[in-house]
Amino acid sequence: MDRLVNTVRPYAWGSTTAIPALLGTAPTGEPQAEMWMGAHPGAPSRTERGPLDELIDADPVRELGERTVERFGPHLPFLFKVLAAGAPLSLQVHPDLDQARSGFAAEEAAGIPIDAPHRTYRDANHKPELICALTPFEGFCGFRAPADAADLIAALGVDALKPYVDLLHAHPEEAALREVLTALLTADPEETAHTVAEATAAADRLGGAHAPYARLAHHYPDDPGVVAAMLLHHVRLKPGEALYLGAGVPHAYLDGLGVEIMANSDNVLRCGLTPKHVDVTELLKVVRFEPADPAVLRPEASPSGEEVYETPTDEFRLSRFVRAEDAAPTDLTAPTPQILLAVAGRPTAGDLALAPGESVFVPAGERIQLTGAGTVFRATVAA
């Protein structure tokens, strides 16, 4: 078992205070957006034995177990994070596995450098993900019913948006959503800026259901993603609730602290709320234009006290333990690799006491017990 030293990524949208508060450290004044736990080559966790990715590369069966290597290859199949949003993240979607493989192969064949700003596929993997709130957490996820989106947009009273309102009342619904998103992302930038300014003023005036979109606009005043976000559900998570995001589901996080787990990928196709490259043609191949309620999850308790967030994804499994001081030891020995993260109290994993924000990597098959009071998240591979 290895105590992890993790990298905190300073993305501009990150909170300046949330991750320091979790870790019990002083804020630096700079944004601290994501703390990565895992073996992603972009920021592998470090241990006393060396970087975690190098340990796994040296002996994948010992670290990951035979079954994990057989199913996913000699790499840790998930990436675990603490995410702290102090400003809106980009509106985005992730590809499915076939799309990622074909897109990555095409860009490799075209000779596009892996770090090029206009590169879309950084690897050949899909990126299903799950975000679990540690504090009240806000975001946007999944398409509303087009008629509901039309009502929200129509209430702004902006003439330039009336054609979109009319389109959203058309059938079939999937085609209406596709046509509106395409029109928004390909509109003249100057006209878009003027329309967003009018929409922002109206949203500020109306408040209520329009208030979250006004907040977006103050961060991205000229961005078509402000109106595109009105096609999506506004979601508020309470601490302990989670949101599952499958392939092709548009989403954006707005504010809050959470733990996030995903397949080990960095493939993101952006729809807006960003100065970065937006590949409209490829994006429209990946987005699933299906109205659906957000997949908000609440943990399901087991007799062992483990509370599991069930998802259809094989690469990861997220659960948590909320332990009282007099709780019996819990055996966490498993044939799969694990990362344990403490977020409250001072529990002990094996012989390592964990303060909030501290984490350990447990190789497959290593015997381990969890003791003491506190809250611990467990990231591992689905059975």
- Cα(209)–Cα(215) distance, integer angstroms: 11
Residues known to be catalytic: 270
Which residues partner with 364 through β-bridges?
none
Helices H / strands E in the chain, number of each: 12, 24
Q: Are 302 and 331 in contact (CB under 8 A)?
A: no
Residue type, 302: S
DSSP structure string for 79-90: EEEEEEESSPPP
- Order of strands across the sheet with 352-353? 330-331, 369-371, 348-349, 352-353
The owner of tokens 């234009």 is: 289
- Cα(340)–Cα(358) distance, integer angstroms: 8
Q: Return the SS3 of 20.
A: helix
- Cα(154)–Cα(97) distance, integer angstroms: 37
Half-sphere exposure of 112 (CA within 13 A, CB side): 16
Q: Are 36 and 79 in contact (CB under 8 A)?
A: yes
Q: Are 364 and 68 in contact (CB under 8 A)?
A: yes
Cβ neighbours, 10 Å, residue 324 = 10
DSSP structure string for 217-235: HHHSTT-THHHHGGGEEEE
